[in-house]
Structure 1
């Protein structure tokens, strides 16, 4: 699936999937991060509402699976000859937001599994994502063949999409745009291109 599969999640789909075990995990995470017990549940609902608004507007619509924009990207990227580095972030475990000591005490499996379903768009539990976009989309796996010689893919497993998940700040230097591995990869890739 290409594009932002998570955009299809609306309030009804969220309510249908907020099972007792998911809510327990969400509340456990919230409490252990120092928030009110229901705070992350509220933030998840606000996040879904916000995504629905963004995806109904120009720019957001372009990232929806099956959009004309993504169809054009698919057509042109497949033929592109310029070297491309696609860096994917792959931190998809809420436990990474906790201290190491607390993370060992909780699995948060139900929450991780349903969030993966929301982001990846399929019932592929443990599908890779960065809490926002599937690695398949980040790496253009639905558009560019794996064997394309000028298209390099790099997965940084401990990187998040942004500096926040819901309203929770991610650990320092773990957001993809400031992750040391990502920055180093960009510099090295540029050096190989401009030799």
Structure 2
């Protein structure tokens, strides 16, 4: 796989500039989403490049909606309990407190404030698939509480505009993705990998 900067400029950008990017984003009409893979150590460099790419796309008439999964997670948690409470609970639980807190966060994002619904609520209601593009960023904030394969599957038949999920991880042959390069590889992603 080519360097992420090369793929961003030579593969992703030309697709997003097309009049209708959906056919090239995904082979599935009911889920116009692709995964852009990058190494987790490049998080800050990626953010800089995305800022530049957003400017270039907007100059060509595209409208980018950026949804930070970190912000979505914080929003979900704050609706259920103050984050300071979670931190205090982790401290009180001692050595393995982080595992219990991770399970609590997972439960919040799955049951009480579903993450997919939070993300979709931020997509423009009047979205035009030829103009609008969804970027899902800050995916690493979910580690180790929530797997992105779960999130992506929930988008099926619910996302109308083309989207890109920026995924910090590693490719594990033949077609698996290891979240943050730490989790065991998932091989059930339907979204196209760039």
Q: Which structure: greater strand fraction? A: 2
Is the pair's TM-score, using the shorter chain for normalization, greater than 0.5?
Answer: no
So what's the TM-score if we normalise by structure 1? 0.26
Q: Which structure carries more relative contact order (alpha carbon 8 Å, separation 6+)? A: 2
So what's the TM-score if we normalise by structure 2? 0.26
